[in-house]
Chain A
């Protein structure tokens, strides 16, 4: 379990991370999302003890990183944004070095072989890291983080610079690791986070702007649910019929299409399912529904809304970063 309380980091007058608090339960995969420069890496560097915090605490399974660094660091596997590789070593030599550095007590050869199998670099074990491609380097970095089976894994943008096939592999790996480990992983790619994580924290300008389960995030942010429809028939009739449904807050035509068809966006109260009502209402006035899709607001829209809204607030408050 990872507990972060009121974590703050200042560089001079600039607050890179501003009073962040969250808890990650064992076996949870937490996605850390934010635009570039939002403070993701700084937060992760503080959690792992690479840099100190200006104030606030990080507790991992009950031991605090600044009070008891030796024991706490043993519980963390960290893959920084740039994998910390000694490029003049072979993969195996490097992993042996990291094994010793982390003071792992497991049987050395077997454990390293197992980790290399897990991230699929066994065939590359005798190659010098300098000569490896970016994807393989990333995997060596991954292997390094997994040494010693730490209960907590912190991964800073683990899929940057990989090709789509490798990205899918890494995602699968993260998902499978999430069963045994607590995983915190950051990215600025939304689809990736939503595909892998149980929970998402959105961070912008050093502050948490959203913290919710992946499937709830969209509704958690907007406060109402949305339905996108494609209906054939006169727009005025359609809209007035939909508006008669009690839970509906707003109904708007988004776009006219050919053959007397149009796209509509219906916003309705949270916790109510209006799909059946919409269906019966349209059936009554004889306008066929050609397409119906709930949760129209994509995560991308939401992400932009969250991060830009925050920036606007920030400017209004006279921030200067």
Chain B
């Protein structure tokens, strides 16, 4: 697992991927931070975090698109699958690689909190709670996108499918508003990750929200292992 994680990180940081992703993240979060916190004279980062979903939605598929599709295409999966390292270790190693890069991006928020502290007292519990929220949301999205990458040999398809899914999630709220059928609306609200994420940005740390994201992450990592396993048997 540690071996795969190390290899993933070195592949991100030895290519432009890590830098482009981090730069994108920093630029947009900086714009939101400046526009919202300075524009409205507030110490609350809730608005910044809320908008960040639209950025995460694009950069996570970029981070994860290569994880399994490229291995399959370059036939390097033959080295992985014929080694004594188990599939679970491989999947978790790859997930953690993407997750560490994403977490590194998110650390910029702590810098913003420090910036705020020069002008006013930041609400640290809320900031840390929101930080936990974005990390958990990221973990779930990474797991889903790693799963998508395991389904295809083309990293372009993996990226586009991941982004399409992100867009769908962002429209989920609007869709459930438009529909007047109660039970569908209820289901859509229950499965919409943004609803759970929003709670974090308000500073509400609830066990339900945490469990939701952790379950989503675990479930999709499990699916990824199954998909890779299934491919060997068909």
Contacts and interface: CB of A to CB of B under 8 A. Distances in A.
Interface string A45-60: 1001111100000000
Contacts of B4: 101
B3 A100 contact: yes
Contact of B79 (A49, A71, A84, A93): A84
A239 interface: no
Given A70-B86, A74-B84, A84 B78 contact: yes
A87 B15 CA distance: 12
Nearest to A45: B78
11 contacts: A50-B78, A50-B81, A51-B232, A69-B84, A70-B84, A70-B86, A73-B83, A87-B74, A97-B6, A101-B80, A103-B84
Q: Give the interface size bracket for B toward A.
A: 20 to 34
B86 A84 contact: no
Contacts of B2: 100
Q: B77, B81, B82 — which one has the most chain A CB atoms within 10 A of its CB?
A: B82
A85 B82 contact: no
A82 interface: yes
Contact of A103 (B10, B79, B85): B85
Interface in B181-234: 232-233
Interface of B: 2-4, 6-7, 10-11, 14-15, 74-86, 232-233
Which label, helix, strand, loop or mixed, suits the secondary structure of the B interface? helix
A73 B87 CA distance: 13
Contacts of B3: 97, 100-101
Interface string A80-107: 1010111111000100011011110000
A144 interface: yes
Q: Give the interface size bracket for A toward B.
A: 20 to 34
Interface in A127-182: 144
A193 to B, nearest CB: 23
Contacts of A242: none
A144 B79 contact: yes
A253 B15 CA distance: 69
A76 interface: yes
A78 interface: yes
Nearest to A141: B79
A25 B10 CA distance: 41
A102 B89 CA distance: 13
A78 B3 CA distance: 19
B232 A84 contact: no
A1 to B, nearest CB: 19
